[in-house]
C-alpha cells in the first residue's frame, strides 16, 4: 500500500515599507501583501479493508448537570463550579465581587458615539465613462447602480486609512466631464488623544496616498470595465475636535454610582469614588466601589482596637486591650497588697521588739529604784539618792 503524498504549502510574502506621514508630506502606505502558494497534488491509494468488525453502539449514560437558578449576579452569568460544588457569578468587565456588585477603580467610560463629531473628507474621482442624463437624479436606477459600484470599491480603501474611526462613504454628487463623482468619507473621533491627533494631522496624507496608489485606482477601474480612473481632489473639513477634552459632553459615567469622568493616560475613564477620595474610610478600613449605592467601607478590626461606622470614623477597644488593662490593674493591686502586707509585718515585728525592749527597760528601772532606795553609800550628799533623803527626813531635829 502506498502512503499518501504530503501537501507542501510555501507562501511567499512580499511586504512593502510603510511610513505614517504628516499632513503636508508624502509617504508610502501599507498595502495588502501579495501571497502566492504552490500545492503539490495529493495522491492517495484507497485503503483495502481486510476484515469487517460488527458495529457497536456505545452505551449512553444519563447525566445531570446542576442548575443555578437563585444566583444574584447583577448582570453577570451564574455558573456551577464543579470543583467547589456550588454556584458562582461570572461578572462582566470592570465588575467584581461575589454578587458582581463592586466596581474597579477605573472603568471604561460610556461614550455617546452617535453624538461624537466626525471629520469628513471630500474626494473627487473622474471615471472615463459616458455621462448619462439619468445621473442627474441620484435616485434613478442608473445612478443607484453606479453609486453602489463605486461605494463598494471605495469603502475598503477609506477604511484602510483609519479602521477604528471610519463610519461611512457616500457619493453625494455626479456631474458630467466623463463622470465626476464627489464622495464624502466620514471618520469619527475616538476616545484617545493619539488617535484624535492622527485624524487632525495625518489622516489626510494617509488617505491621499491610498487613493493615489496605482493598485487602488486599478481596482476601481476594473469595476467600471477597465476604464481609466483618477483622483482629482481630496479636501478635509476643519477638525471639530482639537483634543480629548472636547469629548467631555459625550462622556457618561451614570452606569456606576458616584463614578466621575476623568482623563487618564489620554482617554476618558470613569473613576470610582474610592480612588477620587482615598481617605473616605479614614485609613481605617478598605474602601469598595459599590456600583449601586456608592463607596462602602470594610473597617479594620483586631483584638486590640475595632473601627466601625459608615466611614470607619468610630472606634472601640478590643478584648485584648481590656484584658491588658485589667491584667495590669490586677497586677498593680496584687503588688500593692504585697507591699502593704510586708509593711504591716515589718512594722508589727518592729513594734513587738520595741514592746519587749520597753518592758525590759521598765523592769530594769524599777529594780534600779529599789536599789536606790536601799543604797546608803552617799548619805552625806543631799541629792545622792532618795534613800538618803528619806533618812534625813526621819532624823530628829535637835
Grid cell, residue 183, equals 464622495
Strands 229-236 and 118-127: what pairing? antiparallel
386 domain-assigned: yes
Q: Which domain holds residue 82?
A: 70-100
Asked, for residue 46, whether it belongs to a domain, the answer is no
Same domain, yes or no, for 201 and 267?
no
* Domain closes at, from 184, 208, 236: 236
Give pLDDT, residue 63. 38
Burial 310-322 (b: 16+ CB within 10 A, else e): ebbeebeeeeeee
Given a contact cutoff of 8 angstroms between Cβ atoms, the answer to whether 207 and 95 are in contact is: no
Residues 143 and 220 placed together within one structural domain of the fold: yes
Alpha-carbon gap, residue 68 to 80, rounded angstroms: 6
Same domain, 155 and 193: yes
Domain check: are 141 and 216 in the same one?
A: yes
206 and 116 in one domain? yes
Q: Are 208 and 278 members of one domain?
A: no
Q: Is residue 14 part of a domain?
A: no
C-alpha cell at 72: 444574584
State the Cα–Cα distance between residues 163 and 184, nearest whole angstrom.
16
Is 202 inside a domain boundary? yes
Please report, for the domain that includes residue 211, its CATH number: 3.30.70.960
Domain assignment present for residue 105? The answer is: no
Q: What is the pLDDT along the chain (398 residues), one digit of tens a residue?
A: 444 444 343 343 333 333 343 333 333 333 333 333 334 444 444 443 444 444 454 443 333 445 677 788 988 888 888 888 888 898 988 899 988 999 999 999 999 999 999 999 999 999 999 999 999 999 999 999 999 999 999 999 999 999 999 999 999 999 998 999 999 999 999 999 999 999 999 999 999 999 999 999 999 999 999 999 999 999 999 999 999 999 999 999 999 999 999 999 999 999 999 999 999 999 999 999 999 999 999 999 988 789 999 999 998 886 766 676 777 888 888 888 999 888 888 887 777 666 666 666 666 565 555 555 555 555 554 454 455 555 555 555 54
The domain boundary, picked from 176, 207, 236, lies at 236
State the residue for C-alpha cell 494617509.
206
Q: Examine the domain organization and report whether 118 and 231 are in the same domain.
A: yes
Q: Report how many domains make up the chain.
A: 4
Per-residue CA distances from 223 to 138, 154, 190, 284, 342 (Å): 19, 11, 33, 71, 117
Q: Does some domain include residue 246?
A: no
Q: Which residues, 6+ apart, have CB-to-CB distance to 30 below 8 Å?
A: 16, 18, 160
Q: Are residues 119 and 222 in the same domain?
A: yes
- Bridge partners (DSSP) of residue 175 are 180
Residue 352 belongs to some domain of the structure? yes
Among 266, 292, 317, where does a domain finish?
A: 317
State the pLDDT at residue 360: 60
Same domain for 351 and 311, yes or no, is no
Based on the fold, state whether residues 119 and 187 are members of the same structural domain: yes
**Separation in Å, CA 229 to CA 31, 126, 170, 211:** 19, 6, 18, 10
251 pairs with which residues across the strands?
Answer: 111
The maximal CA–CA distance of the chain, rounded, in angstroms, is 193
In this structure, the answer to whether residues 205 and 294 fall within a common structural domain is no
- The pTM for the full model equals 0.61
Task: Kindly report the length of the chain.
Answer: 398
SS3 string of 156-197? HHHHHHCCCCEEEEEEEEEEECCEEEEEEEEEECCCCHHHHH
Is-contact 135 143, C-beta < 8 A? yes
Contact 330, 320 (CB under 8 A): no
Shared domain check, 129 and 86: no
- The pLDDT assigned to 317 comes to 82
In a domain, 241, yes or no: no
Amino acid at each position: 500500500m502506498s502512503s499518501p503524498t504530503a501537501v507542501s504549502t510555501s507562501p511567499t510574502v512580499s511586504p512593502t515599507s510603510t511610513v505614517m506621514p504628516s499632513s503636508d508630506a508624502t509617504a508610502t502606505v501599507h498595502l495588502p501583501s501579495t501571497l502566492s502558494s504552490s500545492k503539490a497534488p495529493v495522491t492517495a491509494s484507497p485503503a483495502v479493508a481486510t476484515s469487517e468488525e460488527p458495529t457497536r453502539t456505545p452505551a449512553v449514560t444519563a447525566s445531570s448537570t446542576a442548575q443555578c437558578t437563585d444566583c444574584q449576579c447583577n448582570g453577570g452569568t451564574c455558573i456551577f463550579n464543579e470543583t467547589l460544588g456550588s454556584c458562582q457569578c461570572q461578572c462582566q468587565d470592570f465588575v467584581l465581587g461575589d454578587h458582581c456588585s463592586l466596581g474597579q477603580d477605573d472603568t471604561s467610560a460610556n461614550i455617546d458615539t452617535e453624538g461624537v463629531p466626525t471629520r469628513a473628507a471630500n474626494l473627487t474621482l473622474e471615471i472615463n465613462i459616458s455621462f448619462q442624463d439619468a445621473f442627474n437624479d441620484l435616485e434613478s436606477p442608473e445612478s443607484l447602480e453606479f453609486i453602489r459600484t463605486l461605494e463598494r470599491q471605495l469603502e475598503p480603501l477609506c477604511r484602510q486609512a483609519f479602521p477604528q474611526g471610519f463610519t461611512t462613504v457616500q457619493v453625494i454628487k455626479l456631474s458630467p466631464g466623463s463622470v465626476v463623482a464627489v464622495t464624502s468619507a466620514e471618520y469619527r473621533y475616538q476616545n484617545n488623544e493619539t488617535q484624535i491627533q492622527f485624524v487632525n494631522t495625518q489622516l489626510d496624507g494617509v488617505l491621499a496616498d491610498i487613493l493615489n496608489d496605482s493598485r487602488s485606482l486599478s481596482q476601481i477601474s476594473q469595476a467600471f470595465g477597465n476604464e481609466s480612473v483618477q483622483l482629482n481632489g481630496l479636501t478635509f473639513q476643519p477638525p471639530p475636535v482639537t483634543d480629548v477634552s472636547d469629548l467631555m459632553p459625550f462622556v457618561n459615567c451614570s452606569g456606576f454610582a458616584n463614578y466621575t469622568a476623568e482623563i487618564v493616560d489620554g482617554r476618558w475613564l470613569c473613576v470610582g469614588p474610592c480612588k477620587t477620595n482615598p481617605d473616605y474610610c479614614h485609613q481605617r478600613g478598605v474602601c469598595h466601589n459599590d456600583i449601586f449605592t456608592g463607596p462602602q467601607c470594610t473597617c479594620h478590626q483586631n483584638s486590640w482596637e475595632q473601627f466601625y461606622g459608615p466611614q470607619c470614623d468610630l472606634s472601640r477597644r478590643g478584648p485584648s486591650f481590656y484584658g491588658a488593662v485589667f491584667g495590669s490593674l490586677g497586677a498593680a493591686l496584687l503588688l500593692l497588697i504585697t507591699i502593704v502586707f510586708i509593711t504591716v509585718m515589718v512594722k508589727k515585728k518592729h513594734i513587738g521588739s520595741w514592746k519587749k525592749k520597753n518592758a525590759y527597760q521598765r523592769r530594769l528601772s524599777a529594780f534600779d529604784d529599789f536599789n536606790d532606795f536601799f543604797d546608803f553609800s552617799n548619805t552625806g550628799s543631799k541629792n545622792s539618792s532618795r534613800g538618803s533623803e528619806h533618812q534625813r527626813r526621819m532624823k530628829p531635829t535637835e
